[in-house]
Amino acid sequence: MSTRFSHIDSLRAIAALLVVWMHTSELFVLSATPSAQDRLHDVAALVDFGRIGVVIFFAVSGFVIPSSLRGERRACCREFLIKRLFRLYPIYWLSIPFGLVTFWTLWDKDISLSTILWNLTMIQEAVGHASVQGQYWTLQTELVFYALCVLLFAQGVLRNPLLLIGLIFVFSAFTLLPILLSFVGHPLPITPRPMLNMLSLHLSIMFWGALFRMWYDGQATGLLARLSVFGFVGLWLLFAGVAITYYTQKADADIKVIHFFVPYAIGVLSFLLLATVCKLNWAWLAWLGAISYSLYLFHPVVMYSMAWMIQHGGMAWMQNWHTGEYMIVALLGTIGMSALTYKYIEVPAMRMGNALARRSRGADSVAPAAEAR
């Protein structure tokens, strides 16, 4: 039975399009001819479309990943790791040289060989190295989530609603409690590193997505589980409302308070609504969702190439466009490139990963038979 949901693929597409909108608008508004189309950037920047897209991506990962771990624990963990390796890394590795050329070489920026090599691991930022492309930071978060899911599955507790509720609470509190205490005038003497803060916050969203999936499938129907699924969204909406009120009523308030709370509230609310009452099952949107990983990885390649051609490439015909025109061309170029990388890199890599995972499962079944003989 297929476990793929077209409306969840559509959510991936929406998340990717929001990220592309944010990044292309903030880049091209700098070189575009001023016009009303500059509002495309203003709106995206006001509520941080990119952050909303990332929140949706993380919630989708929580919805999908834990439910894919089923069966005998050791064999399932091995199959999962093999499939994830071939799902994430081949196309990611391909994006690195493209990023090196379009973001570093073309713009005369220096990057060390050690940084490039650490980028091959996906954990470069955890060890103090810059990412070849800025959006890679989310992939490190994904790896941590995968590791925790495998660990919890191996212990037989991944589908324990109470444990998921506890993880959501602990990871959320790790980030939000210091912020709230500081807001009321009682800051903690020691605050965690920003990277750990954001990792914890995003893990809370991913485990909320996992609990949401259990509720969605009818496996977490208790009152506490339902309160946690919907209360998580309600809490973020409350935080966002307080942040907006605080910003509008306090003359010296920092707009960062809006940019932090509002995107997360919109992100989790959008996921909740689009996964339940407002399901989008449009074929073209689901297809964009299928290629969304490539869209995410390669949109900077297209937009920075365009920016270089506008500023340094002698492409007079590309100059003096409006912001929206640059954004549309960048989006179409990204979709075209992503369609090719999905077909010729992602799909073959996934097939190879699935084949190796099946082979590893077959090896497990042969070994006990040989021992019995």
pLDDT tens, 124-141? 999 999 999 999 999 999
d(CA 83, CA 100): 27
Residue 372 belongs to some domain of the structure: no
Model pLDDT for residues 89-128, shown as the tens digit of each residue:
999 999 999 999 999 999 999 999 999 999 999 999 999 9
The amino acid at 107: W
pLDDT, one tens digit per residue, over 306-326 is 999 999 888 888 999 999 999
* Nearest one of 271, 321, 294 to 32, comparing CA atoms: 321
Whether residue 308 contacts residue 28, with contact meaning beta carbons closer than 8 Å, is answered with no
Average pLDDT over residues 344-369: 81
Q: Report the alpha-carbon distance of residue 198 to residue 45 in Å, rounded.
A: 20
> Closest Cα partner for 263 from 95, 1, 49, 11?
49
What count of residues does the chain have?
Answer: 373
Which pair of tokens denotes residue 24? 């292309």
In sign, the C-alpha dihedral spanning 229, 230, 236, 239 is: negative
Residue 158: pLDDT band (50, 70, 90) is very high
> Whole domain around residue 332: which residue ranges?
6-366
> Tokens in use for 226?
């339902």
pLDDT at res. 149: 98
Q: Looking at residue 128, what is its pLDDT?
A: 95
Q: Residue 1 falls within a domain, yes or no? A: no
| Helix, strand, coil percentages, rounded to 5, for the chain | 80, 0, 20
* Confidence at residue 371, expressed as pLDDT on a 0 to 100 scale: 35
Residue 196: what pLDDT? 94
Does the global pTM surpass 0.85? Answer: yes
Q: Hey, how many other C-beta atoms are within 10 angstroms of the C-beta on 142?
A: 18
Average pLDDT over residues 326-338: 98
Beta strands in the chain (DSSP E): none
Average pLDDT, rounded, for the chain: 93
pLDDT grade for 77, boundaries at 50, 70 and 90: very high
As a whole number, mean pLDDT of residues 264-277 equals: 97
DSSP one-letter code for 66: G
| Environment class of 18 (CB within 10 Å of its CB; exposed 0-12, middle 13-18, buried 19+) | buried
Picking from 2, 6, 70, 12, the residue whose alpha carbon sits closest to that of residue 209 is 12
Give a yes or no: residue 125 inside a domain. Answer: yes
What pLDDT digit, counting tens, does each position of 18-38 carry?
999 999 999 999 999 999 999
pLDDT reported for residue 367: 43
Is 369's pLDDT higher than 60?
no
Judged against a pLDDT cut of 50, whether residue 157 lies above it is answered with yes
pLDDT category of residue 339 using cuts at 50, 70 and 90: very high
User: 351-354: long-range contacts (C-beta < 8 A, 24 or more apart)?
Assistant: 352/86, 353/82, 353/83, 353/84, 353/85, 353/86, 353/87, 354/83, 354/86
DSSP 181: H
**What is the rounded average pLDDT of the residues 128-156?**
97
Q: Quick check: is 371 in a domain?
A: no
> Which pLDDT score, from 0 to 100, does residue 2 have?
45
Whether the per-residue pLDDT at 45 is higher than 90: the answer is: yes
Q: Which position has the token pair 């090196």?
A: 100
The pLDDT score that the predictor gives to residue 4 is 66
Residue 257 identity: V
- What is the tally of structural domains in the chain? 1
Rounded to whole angstroms, the Cα distance separating 121 from 123 reads 5
d(CA 208, CA 197): 17
